[in-house]
Amino acid sequence: MEAWVRFSAQSAAKERVFRAAQYACTLLGYTMQKNGASAELLARIKQLEAHMSLGRKLFRLGNSAEALEAAKRAIHLSDMVLRFCITVAHLNRAMYFACDNILWAGKTGLVPHADQEKWSQRSFRYYLFALIMNLSRDAYEIRLLMEREASGKRPKGTENGHQAQVDNGLQHLALRLRIQLRLLGHVLRSNPPLLLDLVKNACDIFIPLDKLGLYKTSPGFVGLCGLTSSILSILTIVHPQHRYRSELLKEPKKQQQSREDRFGLQASSWVGAAARKMKMLNCRERESCLYMRASGFSAVGCEAVQGETSILQKMLQQSIQPMNSLIRHQRTQLPVAAFSC
Amino acid sequence: MLPDVYRHLCAFLDVRYRTEDPHSNQSKWRGLHSPAMNMFIRAAQYACMLLGHVLERQAGPGAARAALRQLEASMSSGRKLFRLGNMVHAMVAARQTIQLPDLVPRICLTASNLIRALYFICDTVLWLKSVGLLPHIYKWKWRNWATKCYYYSLLMNLTRDLYEISWLLEQAAEKEKAKENSFPWDTQDQDLICLETERQSQPFLPLLYCTLKKHPPLLLDTTKNLCDLSSPLDRLGIYKTNPGIIGLCGLLSSLVGILTIAKPHLKLK
């Protein structure tokens, strides 16, 4: 019960639940019509749907200015493509909410001569543009992630390409397409929030496409798409870790500090390995001395700055050189050269 | 200019419009916080009621009155829709108040929350009737029960407020007595002692006012409950007033509610 209280305290939560219920009514009405239900039942379902739509419109009265605020904030983003996509998406949403407010005023009788059909079409047009911008943003992010993945792996593709040039141009194309699809699948699987966002926007886009007459589907399909996208957005409210945050706009890691950390940790692990070797050769004194040095290295490594790496190198060489002479017969040389950085 | 006004209003209402990521375009569209929006719409609804009554008195055009009535009805039904899950809120609140340390607030608040849960159940049934899903129920009977539940829960809240006020007055009186007992050590200020004895026979209302001024949450809560009481008193026929008074009282209690949401430290714990 406490979970429901926490959930409904969030602003958009109840609205999403009623949206899901509204589209479920659409789907139910269509299914019942197909199965030959009575006109009275269909009328009742339609009345419920209209009631929920009007109630939701009432509670959305402030969202237009909210979207304008979000657009104003999005102008300061660093990446240009993202800045454009997100700002335009927010502006279109603001216009959609403004048209929605006028529709509400018309339905409640404040503005009785408002042309409901015209304003409804306008609102769906702005909604469509906003969704197109969202999808382009998702596509841009996916493309960048795919490029990052492809450049991270070894260039297997070029080798295959050289081989396939011998065979056939079409096979080469099919192979490339398969590689791209596999890469896409990998990117989407490792980024579930992005996948969720993409599916949600893709489901949502069928609603204005149907209402504007650009791609007519059945009311049942529209209801199903709306229900799916509402459930997915409720999921992102309930589990905030599934909310998508752009990879590009995350803060870059502090490379300098981590390198020093790695340096110190690697040094300590290698010296620790050397100490274990000493133990094997029953040189207890050397072993304890090396363990002390290992722990000292890890402490120093974390605080090391550029100038002190030479000191670290000297310390390592002092401890490793005599060990190398001892264990040379085992052909295990500790990699001192790797410390040249 | 309008977005600026809205921004200041949002900041005032502590709305989290500074979300974690400004670059997100997902549909976690942060509209106004739900309870705040509900209070705004309630204030607008009662303002419509007041305005409608004023226009009626001035014999204004019928179209304006009809439009206001329709607007009020649509706001009321929209709010009823968004009240649908609130019985759970009331049960959770009852579970929390049953753990209060003092006996009288514990009993009063728990009873109030349980009765409020019953009110929300009646409200849900009335909504189902208004939507057409339960056509064969007696609307007046359920509305009567809902009004009675609301009335009793308000009475419980007021009892708790009166208990707190009496406790505070007792504390103030004891403090006065303690101050008075310390004065006999100082024999030079005879006229000051006279002033003290005079203050003891002070009339009740200014003392009450001073006490309440020091404790704004209690004052706000008492005002809200007293204002809310006007509507059920009228509906149950105990103290009939006109829609203008009900509208005014409702507007006042909604404004107090908005203030409590905006400044959480003004909420009575």
Task: Choose, out of A51, A86, A225, A246, the residue to mutate when testing the contact with B (most B CBs < 10 Å).
Answer: A51
With 90 as the cut, is the pLDDT of residue B14 above it?
no
Residues A117 and A10 in one domain: yes
Q: Tell whether A340 is covered by a domain.
A: no
Give the CA diameter of chain A: 98
The per-residue pLDDT for B21 is 43
Query: And the tokens for B78?
Result: 């929209």
The per-residue pLDDT for B2 is 53
Contact B29 A65 (CB under 8 A): no
Q: Tell whether A337 is covered by a domain.
A: no
A192 within 8 A of A243, measured Cβ to Cβ: no
- How many domains is chain A built from? 2
**Chain A (272-311) residues lying within 8 Å, Cβ to Cβ, of chain B:** none
Task: Choose, out of B23, B71, B120, the residue to mutate when testing the contact with A (most A CBs < 10 Å).
Answer: B23
Q: Which residues, other chains included, contact A128 with Cβ-Cβ below 8 Å and sequence gap of 6+? A: A205, A208, A209, A212
Report CA torsion sign: B242, B244, B247, B251.
Answer: negative
SS3 of chain B: helix, strand, coil, percent, to 5? 75, 0, 25
A132 to chain B: closest CA residue: B25
Task: Choose, out of B25, B76, B77, B92, the residue to mutate when testing the contact with A (most A CBs < 10 Å).
Answer: B25
Using alpha carbons, list the distances in angstroms from residue A5 to A49, A53, B28, B87, B112.
Answer: 25, 23, 18, 10, 18
* Number of alpha helices (DSSP H) and beta strands (DSSP E) in chain A: 13, 0
Residues A293 and A235 in one domain: no
Q: Tell whether A341 is covered by a domain.
A: no
Question: Within its chain, how far is the Cα of A114 from the centroid?
Answer: 41
Provide mean pLDDT across the span B217-229. 94
Q: Tell whether A241 is covered by a domain.
A: yes
Token match 């379902």: residue? A45
Rounded to the nearest integer, the mean pLDDT of chain A is 79
Rounded to the nearest integer, the mean pLDDT of chain B is 82
Q: Tell whether A205 is covered by a domain.
A: yes
For chain B, say whether A70 makes contact (Cβ under 8 Å): yes
Higher pLDDT, B34 or A76: A76
Element (H, E) at A54: helix A39-59
A74 within 8 A of A134, measured Cβ to Cβ: no
The per-residue pLDDT for B172 is 85
Using alpha carbons, list the distances in angstroms from residue B12 to A11, B5, B7, B264.
Answer: 16, 10, 8, 11
B83 to chain A: closest CA residue: A14
B132: left (phi over 0), alpha (psi -120 to 50) or beta: left
Question: Which residue in B253, B264, B268, B263 sits closest to B38, CA to CA?
Answer: B253
Residues A303 and A246 in one domain: no
3-state secondary structure A277-341: HHHHCCCHHHHHHHHHHHHHHHHHHHHCCHHHHHHHHHHHHHHHHHHHHHHHHHCCCCCCHHHCC
The per-residue pLDDT for B81 is 92
Question: Which residue in B93, B87, B116, B118 sits closest to B106, CA to CA?
Answer: B93
Radius of gyration of chain B (CA): 24
CA angle B158, B162, B164 (to 5 degrees): 115
The per-residue pLDDT for A300 is 40
With 60 as the cut, is the pLDDT of residue B188 above it?
no
Q: Report which residue type is found at A230.
A: S
pLDDT band at B15 (very low <50, low <70, confident <90, very high): very low
Give the CA diameter of chain B: 82
Count of residues for chain B? 269
Higher pLDDT, A311 or A174: A174
Contact A58 B74 (CB under 8 A): yes
The per-residue pLDDT for A143 is 92
Higher pLDDT, A203 or A333: A203
Provide mean pLDDT across the span A108-121. 89
Residues A144 and A171 in one domain: yes
Residues A159 and A242 in one domain: yes
Q: Tell whether A258 is covered by a domain.
A: yes
Domain boundary among A219, A251, A283: A251
pLDDT band at A32 (very low <50, low <70, confident <90, very high): very high
Q: Which residue of B17, B20, B71 is in closest CB contact with A66? A: B17
User: Where is average pLDDT lowest: A59-63, B18-22, B221-225?
Assistant: B18-22
With 90 as the cut, is the pLDDT of residue A323 above it?
no
Q: Tell whether A162 is covered by a domain.
A: yes
Provide mean pLDDT across the span A119-136. 96
pLDDT exceeding 70 applies to what percent of chain A?
Answer: 67
The per-residue pLDDT for B167 is 92
Question: Within its chain, how far is the Cα of A7 from the centroid?
Answer: 22
Q: Tell whether A339 is covered by a domain.
A: no
The domain of A172 spans: 2-251
Residues A180 and A288 in one domain: no
With 90 as the cut, is the pLDDT of residue A210 above it?
yes
The per-residue pLDDT for B206 is 80
Tell me B266's DSSP state. Answer: G
With 80 as the cut, is the pLDDT of residue A244 above it?
no
pLDDT exceeding 90 applies to what percent of chain A?
Answer: 45
Say whether B264 sits in a helix, a strand or coil: helix
Cα–Cα distance for residue pair B130/B77, rounded to 1 Å? 9
Residues A70 and A193 in one domain: yes
Query: And the tokens for B68?
Result: 């206001």
Higher pLDDT, B189 or A198: A198
Residues A244 and A322 in one domain: no
Domain boundary among A192, A220, A251: A251
B119 within 8 A of B143, measured Cβ to Cβ: no
Higher pLDDT, B223 or A279: B223
Residues A135 and A19 in one domain: yes
Element (H, E) at B194: helix B190-200
Residues A204 and A270 in one domain: no
Contacts of B131 in chain A (CB under 8 A): 47-48, 51
Question: Measured between CA atoms, how close is B192 to chain A, in angstroms?
Answer: 55
User: Where is average pLDDT lowest: A14-18, A44-48, B133-137, B143-147?
Assistant: B133-137
Residues A206 and A272 in one domain: no
Query: And the tokens for A194?
Result: 């992005």
Complex ipTM over 0.85 = no
Residues A258 and A174 in one domain: no
User: Where is average pLDDT lowest: A81-85, A286-290, A298-302?
Assistant: A298-302
The per-residue pLDDT for B43 is 95
With 60 as the cut, is the pLDDT of residue B30 above it?
no
Provide mean pLDDT across the span B72-81. 92
Contacts of A66 in chain B (CB under 8 A): 6, 10, 17, 29-32
The per-residue pLDDT for B263 is 86
With 70 as the cut, is the pLDDT of residue A282 above it?
no
Domain boundary among A251, A267, A295: A251
**Chain A (184-213) residues lying within 8 Å, Cβ to Cβ, of chain B:** 197, 200
The per-residue pLDDT for A278 is 59
